[in-house]
Structure 1
Amino acid sequence: MTRSRGRSRGVTIIDVAKHAGVSPMTVSRVINGDPGVRDEVRARVGEIISALNYTPNLTARSLVTSREIRIGVIYSNPSAAFMSDLLAGVFEEASARAAQLILLKGENGKPPSREAIQGLIDSRVAGMILAPPLGESEVVGQILRAAKLPVAVVGGAARGAICVGIDNRRAAYDMTRHLIALGHRRLGFILGNPDQSASAERLAGFRAAVDEEGDLDVQIVQGDYSYASGLVAGEALLAGAHPPTAIFASNDDMAAAVVSVAHRRHLDVPADLTVTGFDDSTAATTLWPPLTTIRQPVRALAAAALQLLIQDIRAGPVADDDARATILDHQLIERESTATPRSNPLPHPVRTMP
């Protein structure tokens, strides 16, 4: 179990974006004099740049003008917090590696149209980064394989692609063991998007920890990683005669929704209900109480994906059709949403849902 710690570093474009309340891409547009930025936004970003003494990476910017690599990023994720971290990580790495990013967004977890993806390919991108869940979309995969483009997938697995992620099974196992060690015997688990391999891996880790312990009351409900699905799942788990004393949601957005449901039901978190999440996104630290969660280093994953993709582009075509996996470490971050249960009676008979 690891608690978060600060580290010393220089001011980055991400810091400027956070203080100005805009995206890193907007800060870049201001720095580069893009006329498409509103005057009030340009002025606010300029003030923050001055206040933080931010100096753009001029070396990287000069490299971009001399030998630019164009990378497409396709994304469509219902978690705004996750996508903010992912885009920030890939943008920061692109700034340091002479890469220009071209973004293409789908809606509601669905891929963009074939025409839109083909248009991005035709814009002469040298490679593509896919954010979850699109890394495992067969439609997107077919189009990109036909184009013979190098592809990097964040948080998923795809044939012939660079795949960067964490050990989701082990991470979920670690969190479930943590809840059991606190004394919880009635556990709720909220599944993620059923179309993503990470969801199945997290469920497998949860089940492995539960099976080791035995004699637990377990309830499993479906979600899709969105806040809205977390509200529905939270209501389903807390409406029964013997609700869980601890709920582990497969991401922070759904965990935040469960906290909201608990408050609406006049339950104290964590005295009446322990809630944990997954990702350690901004959602984990902006609600009350802050979430105990699994830290998935989303920014580092995105940066590693871009770094490996550029290496592939410069090295030339790779004949290997298998996924090439890079696994980064996860951490269990303990905050204020977890506690020992008030009481520990088990309803009888023990109920385990599939």
Structure 2
Amino acid sequence: MDKPKKSVRRKTSGVTIDEVAARAGVSPMTVSRVINQGKVRDTTRERVMDAVRELGYTPNLAASTLAAAQHTRVALIYTNPSGAYLRELLVGLLRVASNAAIQLVIDYWDTLEPAAERKAARALSGRVDGVILPPPLCESPAAVSELVKAGIPVIAIASGRLGDGISCVRIDDFHAGKEIAEHLIQHGHTRIGFICGRHDLSASARRYEGFVTALDEAGLEVESGLVQHGDYTYRSGLDAAEKLLSHPRPPTAVFASNDDMGAAVISVAHRRGLDVPRDLSVVGFDDSSAATTVWPELTTVQQPIGAMADAALELLLRSIRRKGEAPLELTDHLVPHRLVVRDSVARPPKRR
């Protein structure tokens, strides 16, 4: 005897989107498009809706919310920062964007002049809902002013300049720079070299100010010959390190404004036959992957890039949702930093 057929109608909680897709002979993505009023053929839409009615399927509200979020497009614009810094920022943003079902658009603006940046910003503003600007573009007057004029919510990462119509997510670079300089002073160093970051970034200036304050409070002078300029690249770190270590009275320690330049200092020291940290102590900044791919590994300041990416996207989504409802509320969001002590610092060598 044939078994009686079971009713095709089931409890709502037991029906999945995959079952609807199988009944309609389409993919789960097509079912999602139909439910969220996406663009599909009329015959396909009818077939899917027939399956929905037959199975008694009710869309999950949380899933619908995520599907709607997929229409939110956020752009990350970058131009030649530290490779290690950019990788960690990208990983953090991609993870958060994936969890929130946001479409992340990545734009590369290297070597653009201000006029070209304005043109690119105008073109971008017509196809995204919000923009994240890491250094150095976070402080580009051309890019920032054009995006703000277009009414696009913008979040700057690692910028201390609040007031240009954009919000910021950053660490306290002044106190971080002061803290790591004090770490060297506590180990007995009195001749400390410093490699600056990009001259057009406020974060670079704040780190240097923290360094100078630490030396001043310890009764130490900042010798001009022990301060060299870099631009956050490994190559600029090599050039700066050669100048510092060629000084008639070279420093016993070097504070590099990021880990790429710190790794370069270690490379130059090794090439000159110096032992790190026995002959020369070196510290970096950011705690990027560059800090742990050299020997010895760098003592550095951890700039929690993943947490900064999370905070930036949260602030940006809040601004996007409130767009047009109220005046834009600018936020200066501080993320805690941390001193990471490794093996690149020791007491200065005894005078021979």
What TM-score do the two structures reach when normalised by structure 2? Answer: 0.77
Is contact 2:74-2:104 (8 Å) kept?
Answer: yes
Q: What root-mean-square deviation, in Å, do the aligned CA atoms of Structure 1 and Structure 2 show?
A: 2.2
Q: CA deviation at 1:78?
A: 2.7
Is contact 2:167-2:331 (8 Å) kept?
Answer: yes
Q: CA deviation at 1:320?
A: 4.9
Which residue matches 1:220? Answer: 227
Q: CA deviation at 1:303?
A: 1.4
Identity %: 46
Number of equivalences? 286
Residue ranges of structure 2 left out of the alignment (5+ in a row)? 1-28, 30-60
Which residue matches 1:300? Answer: 307
Q: Deviations over 1:11-60 (max 9, x none)?
A: xxxxxxxxxxxxxxxxxxxxx9xxxxxxxxxxxxxxxxxxxxxxxxxx99
Pairing 1:114–2:155 present? no
* 2:348 corresponds to which of 341, 344, 352: 341
Structure with higher Rg: it is 2
Alpha-carbon separation, structure 2, partners of 1:328 and 1:180: 25
* 2:254 corresponds to which of 235, 247, 252: 247
1:69-88 map, 5 Å:
69-88=72-91
CA distance 1:333–1:319, shift in 2 (3 Å)? same
Is contact 1:258-1:275 (8 Å) kept?
Answer: yes
Alpha-carbon separation, structure 2, partners of 1:344 and 1:179: 18
Is contact 1:60-1:96 (8 Å) kept?
Answer: no
1:230-269 map, 5 Å:
230-269=237-276
Which residue matches 2:10? Answer: none
Q: CA deviation at 1:316?
A: 2.3
Is contact 2:212-2:222 (8 Å) kept?
Answer: no
Kindly provide the amino acid, as one letter, of the partner of residue 185 in structure 1: T
Q: CA deviation at 1:206?
A: 0.3
Q: CA deviation at 1:76?
A: 1.2
Is contact 1:194-1:224 (8 Å) kept?
Answer: yes
CA distance 1:109–1:70, shift in 2 (3 Å)? same
Alpha-carbon separation, structure 1, partners of 2:278 and 2:113: 39
Q: CA deviation at 1:110?
A: 7.0
Alpha-carbon separation, structure 1, partners of 2:62 and 2:243: 51
Which residue matches 1:319? Answer: 327
Greater alpha carbon shift after TM alignment, 209-218 vs 177-186: 209-218
Alpha-carbon separation, structure 2, partners of 1:61 and 1:267: 59
Q: CA deviation at 1:108?
A: 5.7
Alpha-carbon separation, structure 2, partners of 1:115 and 1:216: 46
Greater alpha carbon shift after TM alignment, 208-217 vs 312-321: 312-321
CA distance 1:71–1:320, shift in 2 (3 Å)? closer
Task: Give the ranges of 4+ consecutive aligned residues of structure 1 lying more than 4 Å apart after TM superposition.
Answer: 59-64, 108-112
* 1:143 corresponds to which of 138, 142, 146: 146
Alpha-carbon separation, structure 2, partners of 1:344 and 1:177: 22
Q: CA deviation at 1:216?
A: 4.6
Is contact 1:78-1:108 (8 Å) kept?
Answer: no
Which residue matches 1:129? Answer: 132
CA distance 1:100–1:235, shift in 2 (3 Å)? same
Which residue matches 1:67? Answer: 69
Q: CA deviation at 1:240?
A: 1.3
Kindly provide the amino acid, as one letter, of the partner of residue 116 in structure 1: A
SS at match of 1:254: helix
Alpha-carbon separation, structure 2, partners of 1:328 and 1:109: 30
Alpha-carbon separation, structure 2, partners of 1:162 and 1:122: 20
CA distance 1:109–1:264, shift in 2 (3 Å)? farther
Alpha-carbon separation, structure 2, partners of 1:117 and 1:232: 34
Which residue matches 1:92? Answer: 95
What TM-score do the two structures reach when normalised by structure 1? Answer: 0.76
Alpha-carbon separation, structure 2, partners of 1:83 and 1:281: 9
* 2:296 corresponds to which of 289, 294, 298: 289
Residue ranges of structure 1 left out of the alignment (5+ in a row)? 1-31, 33-58, 346-354
Higher relative contact order (CA closer than 8 Å, sequence separation 6+) = 1
